Amino acid sequence: MGRVSTTIDARFGGVHHVSLTVTDLERSIAWYQRVFRTERLEITVPHYGREETGYSVLLPEPRSGLIFGLHKNVDNRGQRFDEAHTGLDHVSFGVDGRAALEVWVAWLDELGVAHTGIVDETEPITYSTIVFRDPDNIQLELIAME
């Protein structure tokens, strides 16, 4: 097995995109646009090497540059997401402090998006978080490390 070079800076520079398969593409596009204020790019991206299985729509989040890729897949049977199955458990986005979480709570309340409110934890580490779910039940989290 090869080694990561110690002379080339190969660390992660952040997350470029998050790709999620959804049951109703237009419903999910509208939700991600509303909650994260994304703008839909007027292109579709076929599944690389499996073009016949579907495509994704790209929704960049303008403040961070993170791109949400929402995927339509021809084999999707319409079942809701369940983190108890193998694969994704949840996606967590870091925010800058508890005050940012308070802004998010107000925004989610304004949109009528159900959430946990701010939960403060001290064990095993100190952090504050808000958890909510998208239309397919995918768990999304906002986290501020103390």
d(CA 64, CA 112): 23
Instruction: Determine, yes or no, domain membership for 6.
Output: no
d(CA 12, CA 129): 23
Do 94 and 55 lie in a common domain?
no
Instruction: Determine, yes or no, domain membership for 80.
Output: no
Which residues fall within 8 angstroms of residue 3, CB to CB, at 6 or more apart?
A: none
pLDDT at 59 over 90: yes
Instruction: Determine, yes or no, domain membership for 97.
Output: yes
Q: Confidence class of residue 88 from pLDDT cuts 50, 70 and 90?
A: confident
Mean pLDDT computed over 76-90: 86
6 or 119, higher pLDDT: 119
d(CA 89, CA 138): 8
Instruction: Determine, yes or no, domain membership for 139.
Output: yes
The predicted structure's pLDDT at residue 2: 58
pLDDT at 42 over 70: yes
- Please provide the average confidence, as pLDDT, over all residues in the chain: 89
Mean pLDDT computed over 102-112: 96
Instruction: Determine, yes or no, domain membership for 66.
Output: yes
pLDDT at 68 over 60: yes
103 within 8 A of 95, measured Cβ to Cβ: no
Do 25 and 67 lie in a common domain?
yes
What CATH number is associated with residue 56?
3.10.180.10
d(CA 51, CA 129): 38
Lowest mean pLDDT among 85-94, 96-105, 136-145: 85-94
84 or 5, higher pLDDT: 84
